[in-house]
């Protein structure tokens, strides 16, 4: 297991660096001069040159890339905003907890609602419970989350006056989070329910379930002691997928409710053409997601021995096997 | 898909296990959940289990082609068929928008600003007095076209990458899979945002951004399935009678590995429509004067307090089209599933 974790960790480092290089290169080709954006519209040519020198924009691509990578990965400095010269790193750290609160609470809802929904559907196949939960899932995956969020605002905030429609400064209390979390978790709930249902159905059809029924186990015991553990691997995989989906979703949902998290930061930067912010924010989110993926991969290896076995082989053994088997075919 | 395939589990612990396992896992992660072994729903109840995959479906009667069997099985599913008809109708209405739309999409009628839905204006009018229903019809051209075109583009690139990866193996496989790892290091919507930030706004740029962001699942699925299929007995038989490797790959393996990819692509269209709307909502992709559904919602958001009905028309059309595509996708999957009865 330790070997697997180390390998995974070592693989993650080049991946993140490659992501950073890719994003940096993409942003390098963005039309528009960052120095002009930073200096402002009424700056003189000399001012622009000064800013350009300060930002190191006169250096060749490879030098800038090197500076940027060493800033980000060695000094944890994400650079400065082109618009107001504030530190991007500070802004990300300040905003990160809000985005994570939204993402993790929707994840929690997804698991707490989605899995039971799937189990209920699977143990009552072709009944109204099954049909209702699958109908709900189908509708839920077909609704654009931001539109669903807007509809929630129209219904619960504007018409019924039950919940606040916007998050605002210093606002605390659970009621500000209810609508965003519901809007962000609805797709996850639907997907989790569908996955749980199909893997539970498969498990419930297995012969060992028949055996447990034959020896007179209670239905509850069969479901929770026998079927659920055997159906768990796809269910866990799905919940891992939900982690990254709920982070990506929260970036969008934040904008609907004005929650000052990373998503709002990113979208504001996009609209003001503040490309250092876009660049650093995307890389930051990619790093966070890679870390989460690492954790989930390790968890996955813990439940699925095949994955662990794949990593336990030495490189040499793997090459040998490949040679014996022939390439691809 | 994985569960149905006995060859797969035997394939993965042998050589190349890291990439195969990764591909398998990522397929779970990125593929649509509809695709995954969901056919069990139908297998359950009429003895689908234990049925040898492929035995019933491909045994052809006289004069039957694979496609006619598929068509017959698809037509039997009433829900999918109904959705298919709705979808075709929607596409036709949007395509012939200039003939059908009661008003011009850009004409501003300042005497009819921000009207609620009525007989004259089915979805009401917007803040500039333009008829929302007519704009929705024109908008469908953007939204539906972007959904289908970007999926087609992503599918083609994904197939090329996946097939090359499975066919050449070795170094090419390694490099292509690492490129896919790179593309999948962030959620596809974030990748689409980053690419559209560079390219700027507009229909063609949105198309490129969305296509690139959707390649990964198709390539991974095709590669995993091709590797799995190439372990099957009939491929061994083909090798035994000395078929050339390209022949085995493209005549025997590739067509049999395409099924999950086709199903995933159908669902992918729905996903792309949602992504396009989301990008338009945050100010990327197609911009407001063009009546794309997401862009219309973005424009309507400003008036959410005074005129919330502006949000209804485009939103409902997105939901209807995405729902229909998903259900048609379900139908195609079931029709292609050899475990189902004829």
Distance from C-alpha of B135 to C-alpha of B300, rounded to nearest angstrom: 13
Helix (H) or strand (E) run with residue B273 in it:
helix B254-281
The answer to whether residues B229 and B253 touch, using CB atoms and an 8 Å cutoff, is yes
**Among A204, A242, A328, which would you mutate to test the B interface (most chain B Cβ atoms within 10 Å of its Cβ)?**
A328
**What is the sign, positive or negative, of the torsion defined by CA atoms of B237, B240, B245, B247?**
negative
Whether residue A4 is contained in a domain is answered as: no
Q: Per the structure block, which two tokens stand in for B75?
A: 């037509």
Residue B310 DSSP one-character state:
G
Instruction: Give the A window 295-324 contacts with B, CB below 8 Å.
Output: 297, 300, 306-307, 309-311, 313, 318, 321-322, 324
Sequence length of chain B is 342
Q: Per the structure block, which two tokens stand in for B67?
A: 């496609």
Distance from C-alpha of B326 to C-alpha of B263, rounded to nearest angstrom: 10
Residues A170 and A253 in one domain: yes
The answer to whether residues B144 and B96 touch, using CB atoms and an 8 Å cutoff, is no
Residues A172 and A259 in one domain: yes
End-of-domain residue from the set A77, A103, A134: A77
Residues A112 and A43 in one domain: no
Q: How many CB pairs under 8 A join A and B?
A: 200
Chain B residue at shortest CA distance from A245 = B187
Residues A40 and A154 in one domain: no
Q: Per the structure block, which two tokens stand in for A265?
A: 């930061």
Distance from C-alpha of A136 to C-alpha of B202, rounded to nearest angstrom: 34
Tell me the average pLDDT across A9-26. Answer: 84
Distance from C-alpha of A196 to C-alpha of A110, rounded to nearest angstrom: 12
Whether residue A318 is contained in a domain is answered as: no
User: What is the reported pLDDT for B153?
Assistant: 94
User: What is the reported pLDDT for A306?
Assistant: 64
Please state, in angstroms and as integers, the Cα–Cα distance from residue B298 to each residue in A150, A164, B281, B288, following that order.
10, 20, 5, 8
Residues A255 and A135 in one domain: yes
Fold of B67-336: MetI-like fold (1.10.3720)
Residue B119 binned pLDDT confidence (cut-offs 50, 70, 90): low
CA angle A289, A306, A211 (to 5 degrees): 115
- The residue assigned the tokens 């009552």 is A124
Residues A102 and A55 in one domain: no
The answer to whether residues A208 and A222 touch, using CB atoms and an 8 Å cutoff, is no
Residues A228 and A297 in one domain: yes
Q: Is the pLDDT of residue B40 over 60?
A: no
User: Can you tell me whether residue B131 is helix, strand or coil?
Assistant: strand
Q: Return the higher-pLDDT residue of A305 and A184.
A: A184
Instruction: Give the B window 133-172 contacts with A, CB below 8 Å.
Output: 166-170
B303 shares contact with chain A (CB less than 8 Å) = no
End-of-domain residue from the set A23, A44, A77: A77
Q: Per the structure block, which two tokens stand in for B248?
A: 């085995």
**Domain limits of chain B?**
21-56, 67-336
Instruction: Give the A window 48-107 contacts with B, CB below 8 Å.
Output: none
Residues A155 and A271 in one domain: yes
Residues A202 and A276 in one domain: yes
- Render pLDDT for A80-108 as a digit per residue (tens, 0 to 9): 777 777 888 888 888 888 888 888 888 88
Tell me the average pLDDT across A291-309. Answer: 71
Q: Per the structure block, which two tokens stand in for B188?
A: 């596809």
Residue B307: φ, ψ to 5°? -130, 65
Half-sphere exposure of A141 (CA within 13 A, CB side): 29
User: In this complex, do A238 and B277 lie within 8 Å of one another by their Cβ atoms?
Assistant: no
Minimal CA separation from B162 to chain A, in Å: 12
Whether residue A85 is contained in a domain is answered as: no
Domain around A42: 32-77
**Mean pLDDT, rounded, of chain B:** 75
Distance from C-alpha of A167 to C-alpha of A181, rounded to nearest angstrom: 12
Q: What CATH number is given to the structural domain containing A265?
A: 1.10.3720.10
Whether residue A327 is contained in a domain is answered as: no
Q: Is the pLDDT of residue B340 over 80?
A: no
Residues A72 and A102 in one domain: no
Distance from C-alpha of A217 to C-alpha of B148, rounded to nearest angstrom: 51
B322 shares contact with chain A (CB less than 8 Å) = yes
For chain A, how many structural domains are there in total?
2
Residues A54 and A177 in one domain: no
Enumerate the residues of chain B whose CB falls inside 8 A of the CB of residue A294. Answer: none
Residues A267 and A126 in one domain: yes
Q: Is the pLDDT of residue A69 over 80?
A: yes
- Render pLDDT for B286-309 as a digit per residue (tens, 0 to 9): 777 778 888 888 888 877 777 777
The answer to whether residues B135 and B105 touch, using CB atoms and an 8 Å cutoff, is yes
Q: Is the pLDDT of residue B260 over 80?
A: yes
């Amino acid at each position: 297991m330790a070997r697997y974790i180390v390998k995974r960790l070592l693989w993650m480092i080049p991946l993140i660096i490659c992501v950073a290089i890719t994003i940096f290169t993409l942003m390098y080709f963005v039309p528009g001069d960052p120095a002009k954006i930073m200096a402002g519209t009424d700056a003189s040519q000399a001012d622009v040159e000064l800013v350009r020198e300060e930002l190191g924009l006169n250096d060749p691509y490879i030098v800038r890339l090197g500076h940027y990578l060493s800033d980000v990965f060695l000094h944890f400095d994400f650079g400065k905003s082109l618009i107001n010269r504030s530190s991007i790193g500070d802004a990300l750290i300040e905003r990160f907890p809000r985005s994570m609160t939204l993402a993790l609470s929707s994840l929690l809802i997804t698991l707490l609602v989605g899995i039971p929904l799937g189990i209920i559907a699977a143990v009552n196949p072709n009944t109204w419970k099954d049909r209702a939960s699958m109908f709900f899932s189908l509708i839920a995956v077909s609704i654009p989350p931001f539109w669903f969020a807007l509809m929630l605002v129209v219904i619960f905030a504007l018409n019924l006056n039950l919940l606040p429609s916007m998050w605002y400064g210093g606002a605390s209390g659970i009621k500000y989070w209810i609508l965003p979390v519901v809007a962000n978790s609805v797709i996850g709930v639907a997907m989790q329910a569908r996955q749980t249902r199909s893997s539970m159905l498969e498990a419930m059809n297995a012969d060992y379930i028949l055996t447990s029924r034959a020896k007179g186990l209670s239905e509850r015991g069969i479901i929770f002691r026998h079927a659920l553990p055997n159906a768990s691997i796809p269910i866990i995989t799905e919940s891992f997928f939900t982690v990254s989906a709920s982070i990506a979703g929260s970036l969008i949902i934040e904008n609907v409710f004005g929650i000052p998290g990373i998503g709002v930061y990113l979208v504001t930067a996009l609209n003001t053409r503040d490309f250092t912010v876009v660049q650093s924010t995307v890389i930051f989110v990619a790093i966070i997601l890679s870390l989460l993926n690492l954790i989930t991969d390790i968890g996955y290896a813990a439940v699925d021995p095949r994955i662990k076995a794949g990593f336990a082989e030495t490189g040499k053994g793997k090459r040998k096997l490949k040679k014996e088997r022939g390439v691809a075919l | 898909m994985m569960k149905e395939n006995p060859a797969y589990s035997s394939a993965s612990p042998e050589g190349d296990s890291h990439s195969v396992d990764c591909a398998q896992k990522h397929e779970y992660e990125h593929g649509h959940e509809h695709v995954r072994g969901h056919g069990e729903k139908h297998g359950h109840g009429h003895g689908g289990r234990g049925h040898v995959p492929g035995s019933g479906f491909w045994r052809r009667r006289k004069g039957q082609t694979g496609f006619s069997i598929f068509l017959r099985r698809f037509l039997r599913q009433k829900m999918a068929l109904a959705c298919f008809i709705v979808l075709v109708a929607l596409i036709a209405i949007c395509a012939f928008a200039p003939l059908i739309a009661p008003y011009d999409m850009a004409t501003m009628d300042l005497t009819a600003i921000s009207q609620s839905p009525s007989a004259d204006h089915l979805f009401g009018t917007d803040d500039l007095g333009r008829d929302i229903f007519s704009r929705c019809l024109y908008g469908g051209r953007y939204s539906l076209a972007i959904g289908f075109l970007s999926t087609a583009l992503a599918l083609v690139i994904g197939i090329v990458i996946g097939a090359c990866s499975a066919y050449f193996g070795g170094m090419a496989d390694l490099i292509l899979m690492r490129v896919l790892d790179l593309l999948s290091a962030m959620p596809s919507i974030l990748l689409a945002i980053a690419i559209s930030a560079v390219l700027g706004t507009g229909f063609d740029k949105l198309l490129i951004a969305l296509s690139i962001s959707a390649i990964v699942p198709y390539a991974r699925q095709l590669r995993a399935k091709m590797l799995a299929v190439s372990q099957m007995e009939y491929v061994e038989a083909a090798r035994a009678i000395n078929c050339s490797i390209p022949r085995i790959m493209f005549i025997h393996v590739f067509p049999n590995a395409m099924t999950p990819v086709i199903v995933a692509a159908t669902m992918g269209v729905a996903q792309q429509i949602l992504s396009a709307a989301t990008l338009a909502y945050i100010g990327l992709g197609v911009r407001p004067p063009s009546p794309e559904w997401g862009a219309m919602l973005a424009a309507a958001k400003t008036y959410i307090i005074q005129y919330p009905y502006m949000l209804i028309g485009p939103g409902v059309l997105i939901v209807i089209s995405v729902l229909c595509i998903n259900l048609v996708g379900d139908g195609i999957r079931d029709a292609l599933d050899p475990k189902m009865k004829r």
